[in-house]
Amino acid sequence: MSTSRLTRRGFLKAAGALAAAGCLPVSTVELAFADRSKSFTFAHISDAHIQQIRGTKFVRNWDRGLIRAVAETNLLAPKPDFVVFGGDLAQLGKKSELDHGAEMLSKLSYKVYCVMGEHDYYLDLGEYWSKLFGPHYYSWDHKDVHFVVLNSVLTYDEWTHERWPTQEQRMLEMAGLDNPNGSQFMVGEKQRAWLREDLGKVKKGTPIVVFSHSPIQKIYKGWNFWTEDAEEVQALLRPFEDVTVIYGHVHQVQYNQIGKISFHAVMATAWPWPYPQSYALAKSHLPRLTVPMNRADPFFERDATGWQLIDMKNGRTAMRYNLYNNTNRAVAFNPKTGRPEDTKFQEPTAGLPPQVHY
C-alpha cells in the first residue's frame, strides 16, 4: 500500500476529476497513480424490490428503476470490469419476482455478482435465489483485490425456523420496518468461520472489498440499518490495510470509517429511505462523517434513487453516485484524513441541506 497511497495532491486531483465526472458520468476518470495496471472500475446496482401485483403485472415504478440502471450501466465507457447487484432484487422473495428481476439483470453486458437481501431470503430461505445466482456467500480475486460477498441478513434459528406458521408470514414479518415481530440481521457463526478461513489465505497487503446487504456496522436498529455481529466481522477484517465494505439496504448515501475499514452505502433503484434521525422515536447512529443527501422530489419517481460506478484505484474505492434528477455525488477515500469523504460536500456547512423528514 505504501507505494500506491495517494498524495494529498493526488487526492485533490482525483476529487476534481470525480466532481467533473459527476456531470459527465460516462466519461473516463483519470487519476494520478503510479501503477495504472491496478486500477479498474465496477458498477453497483441494488435494492430493486421487484414486486408482483398479480400474474404478469409487476409494480411499474420498481421495474422502471432497474431497467434504467441496467441500460445506463451498459452505456458506460470505459466499460466496468463487472457489476455487483447488492440484494433485495425481489420484494417478497417470490419466484415470479426473482425471475422477472433476473430477466432484467440478464440484459447487463457484464459479469454480475449477486448479494442476498432479506426480501430475497425469507420466503424460501434463499433456495430459489440460489438456483438463479449461486451460493449465498463466496469470494473471488480480481486484479490483486480480494472480493467477498456475505449473506448478512441471517438471524436467530428460532426466529427463522420455529416461530412462523407459514413462509409467507415469515417473509412479511421481516419485510416490515419498526416491526416488534422482526429480528436483527447477522452474518452468523458459520459464515464468520468461513470468512476467517477465506481471509486466512489472503496476503495482509491485499486490498479487501466486502459486499453485504445490511451495513456491517450499527446505525439504526428499528429499520435493521444494523448487523448484530458487526463487531465480530469487523474484527476478522482488521488485520488488513485496505478494507472497504459496500452495503445496500439503506437506500441512501452513507459513509464511515472504523479503523482501517471504509464503509459505503449504495442507492436503491426502487425508492429512497429517509435518514433515520428524521424518525425521532429512537436513537440512531448515522456515521458522523456522512453528509446526508438531499431528499426526493416526489413527482420524479426516480429522484433519490440511482446506482453507483466505483473506481478501484490501487485498493482504495471512490464511489460515484449516479443520482437521477439530482446532483451526482462522489465519495472517495482521502489518504490524508484516512477516511472516505464526499469530494464536494465535505463540511456540514458547505453541504447540501439535508432534508430531515418527508
Q: Is 273 in the site for another protein (CB under 8 A)?
A: no
Give the range of 8-16, 24-32, 142-150, 255-263 binding another protein by CB under 8 A: 24-32
CA–CA distance, 245 with 96 (Å, rounded to integer)? 30
Give a three-class secondary structure readout of 61-112.
Answer: HHHHHHHHHHHHHHCCCCCCCCEEECCCCECCCCHHHHHHHHHHHCCCCCCE
In whole angstroms, the minimum distance from the beta carbon of 357 to another protein comes to 21
Q: Is 53 in the site for another protein (CB under 8 A)?
A: no
User: Which of 7, 34, 35, 75 touches another protein (CB under 8 A)?
Assistant: 75
Which DSSP symbol is given to 328?
A: -
Residue 278 burial by Cβ neighbours in a 10 Å radius (0-12, 13-18, 19+): middle
Give the range of 61-69, 143-151, 177-185, 257-265 binding another protein by CB under 8 A: 61-69
Angle of helix 230-237 versus helix 189-200 axis, rounded to 10? 10
User: Which of 11, 15, 25, 251 touches another protein (CB under 8 A)?
Assistant: 25
- Based on CB atoms, which residue is closest to another protein, 213 or 302? 302
User: Which of 8, 9, 16, 71 touches another protein (CB under 8 A)?
Assistant: 71
User: Please, what's the b/e burial string for 108-144 (b: 16 or more CB within 10 A of its CB; e: otherwise)?
Assistant: beeebbbbbbbbbbbbbbbebbeebbeebbebeeeeb
- Based on CB atoms, which residue is closest to another protein, 129 or 321? 321
Which DSSP symbol is given to 225?
A: B
In whole angstroms, the minimum distance from the beta carbon of 212 to another protein comes to 27
In whole angstroms, the minimum distance from the beta carbon of 329 to another protein comes to 14
Q: Is 26 in the site for another protein (CB under 8 A)?
A: yes
In whole angstroms, the minimum distance from the beta carbon of 65 to another protein comes to 8
Contacting another protein within 309-348 (CB under 8 A): 322, 324-325
User: Which of 13, 38, 68, 142 touches another protein (CB under 8 A)?
Assistant: 68
In whole angstroms, the minimum distance from the beta carbon of 210 to another protein comes to 28
Give the range of 65-73, 136-144, 280-288, 312-320 binding another protein by CB under 8 A: 65-73
Helix-strand-coil percent breakdown of the chain, rounded to 5?
A: 30, 20, 50
**Contact yes or no for 250/289 (Cβ under 8 A):** no
User: Which of 5, 13, 38, 64 touches another protein (CB under 8 A)?
Assistant: 64
CA–CA distance, 101 with 149 (Å, rounded to integer)? 19
In whole angstroms, the minimum distance from the beta carbon of 270 to another protein comes to 11
**Contact yes or no for 240/260 (Cβ under 8 A):** yes
Beta bridge partners of 210: 148, 245
User: Which of 29, 45, 70, 270 touches another protein (CB under 8 A)?
Assistant: 70
User: Which of 67, 125, 132, 352 touches another protein (CB under 8 A)?
Assistant: 67
Record the cell numbers describing residue 19, joined without a space: 466532481
Q: In sequence order, what are the residues at sequence separation of 6 or more whose Cβ sits closer than 8 angstroms to the Cβ of residue 112?
A: 82, 83, 84, 85, 105
DSSP helix/strand/coil, 139? strand
Binding mask 278-307 for another protein (x = CB under 8 A): ---------------------xxxxx----
Record the cell numbers describing residue 227, joined without a space: 448487523
In whole angstroms, the minimum distance from the beta carbon of 22 to another protein comes to 9
Give the range of 70-78, 122-130, 131-139, 239-247 binding another protein by CB under 8 A: 70-78
Ramachandran bin of 239, using left for φ above 0, alpha for ψ from -120 to 50, beta for the remaining angles:
alpha
Where on the chain is the footprint of another protein (CB under 8 A)?
23-27, 60-61, 64, 67-68, 70-72, 74-75, 77, 299-303, 322, 324-325
